[in-house]
């Protein structure tokens, strides 16, 4: 990997990423959620993901932080990328909700919102009068999105984490080997839970356009995880056989695996239809396999997988991974190099299609330096949804937002001196 691929010297925020074929087209249209205001009382990953999705789609998203800031600003290790990843295109206001004047600012700000999002434990927002009931009394058009560990029920009092629900919801069992449950390699429930929160918010906004009224939306980690493993639950319902963990599963296709090849390289290769199997045999010169009646159909090959796979591993062991990739690509067969996340900074497809955009890091040892971040995996009219605002520094927009709420510069300064805002 190019050591300069991830970080660069400080520079202005990148313009929204545009696909090459759209670069010379008409000016970009307004984003779908432009003109909507979202106020988020969120931290960690789930709630901020919801806000990021809405922000990328054009909403003005205001992140309410405690005076010491969202804790993810200063996490180490696996959490170091949380804040810059999930808080772009947002404004930051720092408020002490325990201070009466700070709480009043928060209430005034929430009253201006189309959407309020939160992901605190049940009861926290109600303690401050920032839950749905009092805010919707002020603004019946309000959409209020709760991000929780569990939807209302016997578990709702529990403290949930992504790893907690992966363990209790079958995903860790399916990811690891028997007797060795393993969490998935990303914050899948947090991220998807935030995405479902954003989806619910957009659905409620559409319904508000018809009825004129807002509503409360709930998205939960556990239920998200159960949705992810639903295919395995239905496999059991259909076959009567429990799903085996993914490393030990009975594959639906014979050629569908990672192969170790020349000089210890690895590559994933697949053929998921009879036509692809024939193409594979022709491309590699395996005429004997092509003609073998015991391998004529996909199900025949799956039944023969115990002997077929060792044979294929031996046949392919003399190839370089790049040679196999070239053969598979030339013949339209599925394949994949085995890459690490940091290698994606140099991925030619991501770089050619605007899949990465520059942000300026707001915190930590590299504060002020730029890094490239991944964008939402979609395009509208050929345009990627890019970075309009860098991840904010703590309280970066406090004074501007107070002015919008009618506070004079002197009143804003007084609030800061009193420790109500920062």
**Is 0.85 surpassed by the pTM of this model?**
yes
pLDDT at 250: 78
Would you say residue 120 lies in a domain?
Answer: yes
Average pLDDT over residues 142-152: 97
pLDDT at 29: 79
Q: What does the H/E/C string look like for 244-269? A: CCHHHCCCCCCEEEEEECHHHCEEEE
Query: Same domain, yes or no, for 111 and 202?
Result: yes
Paired strand residues for 383: 18, 380
Question: Would you say residue 211 has pLDDT above 80?
Answer: yes
Question: Would you say residue 284 has pLDDT above 60?
Answer: yes
Paired strand residues for 144: 116, 216
| Tally of CA atoms within 13 A in the half-sphere of 283 that contains its CB | 19
Query: Same domain, yes or no, for 143 and 260?
Result: no
pLDDT digits (tens, 9 = 90+) for 306-335: 999 999 999 999 999 999 999 999 999 999
Query: Same domain, yes or no, for 224 and 263?
Result: no
pLDDT digits (tens, 9 = 90+) for 251-270: 889 999 999 999 999 999 99
Dihedral sign for Cα atoms in the order 214, 220, 226, 228: positive
Would you say residue 347 lies in a domain?
Answer: no
**CATH code for the domain of 272:** 3.30.1540.10
Least confident of 15-24, 99-108, 199-208: 15-24
Query: Same domain, yes or no, for 186 and 331?
Result: no
Share of the chain above pLDDT 70, in %: 93
Q: Which of 337, 361, 392 is the last residue of a domain?
A: 337
**CATH code for the domain of 392:** 3.40.50.10540
Paired strand residues for 38: 61, 115
Would you say residue 342 lies in a domain?
Answer: no
pLDDT at 198: 98
Q: Which of 274, 302, 337 is the last residue of a domain?
A: 337
pLDDT at 318: 96
How far is it, in rounded angstroms, from Cα 244 to Cα 236?
Answer: 10
pLDDT at 23: 39
**Contact, 354 vs 384, CB < 8 A?**
yes
Query: Same domain, yes or no, for 317 and 279?
Result: yes
Query: Same domain, yes or no, for 87 and 125?
Result: yes
Question: Would you say residue 369 has pLDDT above 90?
Answer: yes
Question: Would you say residue 13 has pLDDT above 90?
Answer: no
pLDDT digits (tens, 9 = 90+) for 43-72: 999 999 999 999 999 999 999 999 999 999
DSSP code of residue 18:
B
Q: In what order do the strands lie in the sheet with 356-360?
A: 7-8, 370-374, 356-360
Question: Would you say residue 247 has pLDDT above 80?
Answer: yes
pLDDT digits (tens, 9 = 90+) for 382-415: 999 999 999 999 999 999 999 999 999 999 999 9
pLDDT at 1: 46
Query: Same domain, yes or no, for 369 and 329?
Result: no
Residue 26: pLDDT band (50, 70, 90) is low
Candidates 131, 190, 257, 347; catalytic one: 190
Question: Would you say residue 419 has pLDDT above 50?
Answer: yes
| 190 is known as an active-site residue | yes
pLDDT at 16: 42
Q: Give the closest residue to 41 by CA, choosing from 105, 137, 84.
A: 105
Residue written as tokens 């003005």?
60
Residue 248: pLDDT band (50, 70, 90) is confident
Residue range of the domain that includes 304: 251-337
Residue 249: pLDDT band (50, 70, 90) is confident
Residue written as tokens 């309410």?
64
Average pLDDT for the chain: 93
Question: Would you say residue 18 has pLDDT above 90?
Answer: no
Would you say residue 346 lies in a domain?
Answer: no
How far is it, in rounded angstroms, from Cα 122 to Cα 220?
Answer: 12
Would you say residue 244 lies in a domain?
Answer: no
pLDDT digits (tens, 9 = 90+) for 99-121: 999 999 999 999 999 999 999 99
Question: Would you say residue 89 has pLDDT above 50?
Answer: yes
Query: Same domain, yes or no, for 363 and 330?
Result: no
Query: Same domain, yes or no, for 315 and 364?
Result: no
Query: Same domain, yes or no, for 206 and 109?
Result: yes
Query: Same domain, yes or no, for 283 and 179?
Result: no
Paired strand residues for 299: none
Would you say residue 274 lies in a domain?
Answer: yes
Q: Count how many domains the chain has.
A: 2
Would you say residue 221 lies in a domain?
Answer: yes
Assigned token pair, 78 = 């696996």
**Contact, 20 vs 42, CB < 8 A?**
no
Instruction: Decide which of 246 and 229 is more confident.
Output: 229
Query: Same domain, yes or no, for 192 and 48?
Result: yes
Assigned token pair, 373 = 């971040």
**Contact, 18 vs 354, CB < 8 A?**
yes
pLDDT digits (tens, 9 = 90+) for 331-359: 999 999 999 999 999 999 999 999 999 99
Would you say residue 240 lies in a domain?
Answer: no
């Amino acid at each position: 990997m190019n050591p300069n691929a991830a970080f660069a010297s400080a520079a202005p925020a990148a313009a929204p990423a545009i696909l090459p074929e759209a670069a010379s087209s008409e000016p970009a249209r307004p984003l779908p959620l432009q003109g909507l205001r979202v106020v988020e009382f969120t931290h960690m990953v789930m709630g901020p993901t919801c806000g990021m999705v809405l922000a990328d789609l054009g909403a003005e998203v205001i992140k309410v932080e405690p005076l010491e800031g969202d804790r993810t600003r200063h996490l180490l290790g696996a959490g170091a990328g949380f804040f810059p990843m999930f808080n772009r295109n947002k404004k930051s206001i720092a408020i002490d909700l325990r201070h009466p004047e700070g709480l009043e600012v928060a209430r005034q700000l929430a009253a201006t919102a189309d959407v309020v999002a939160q992901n605190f434990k049940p009861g926290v927002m109600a303690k401050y009068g920032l839950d749905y009931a009092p805010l919707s009394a002020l603004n019946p058009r309000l959409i209020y999105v709760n991000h929780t560990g569990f939807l209302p029920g016997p578990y709702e009092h529990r403290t949930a984490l992504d790893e907690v629900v992966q363990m209790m919801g079958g995903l860790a069992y399916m990811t690891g080997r028997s007797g060795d449950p393993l969490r998935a390699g990303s914050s899948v429930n947090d991220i998807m839970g935030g995405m479902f929160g954003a989806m619910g918010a957009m659905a409620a906004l559409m319904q508000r356009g018809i009825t004129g009224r807002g509503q409360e939306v709930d998205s939960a980690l556990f239920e998200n995880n159960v949705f992810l493993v639903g295919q395995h639950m239905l496999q059991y319902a259909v076959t009567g056989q429990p799903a085996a963990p993914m490393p030990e599963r009975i594959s639906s296709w014979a050629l569908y695996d990672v192969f170790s090849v020349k000089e210890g390289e690895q590559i994933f290769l697949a053929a998921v239809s009879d036509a692809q199997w024939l193409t594979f045999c022709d491309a590699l010169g395996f005429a004997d396999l092509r003609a073998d009646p015991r391998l004529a159909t996909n199900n025949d090959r799956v039944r023969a997988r115990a002997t077929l796979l060792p044979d294929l591993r031996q046949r392919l062991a003399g190839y370089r991974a790049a040679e196999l990739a070239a053969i598979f690509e030339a013949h339209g067969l599925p394949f994949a190099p085995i890459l690490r996340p940091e290698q994606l900074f140099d991925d030619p497809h991501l770089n050619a299609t605007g899949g990465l955009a520059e942000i300026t890091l707001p915190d930590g040892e590299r504060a002020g330096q730029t890094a490239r971040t991944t964008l939402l995996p979609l395009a509208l009219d050929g345009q990627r949804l890019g970075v309009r605002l860098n991840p904010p520094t703590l309280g970066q927009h406090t004074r501007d937002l107070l002015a919008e709420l009618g506070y004079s510069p002197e009143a804003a300064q007084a609030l800061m001196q009193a420790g109500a805002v920062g």
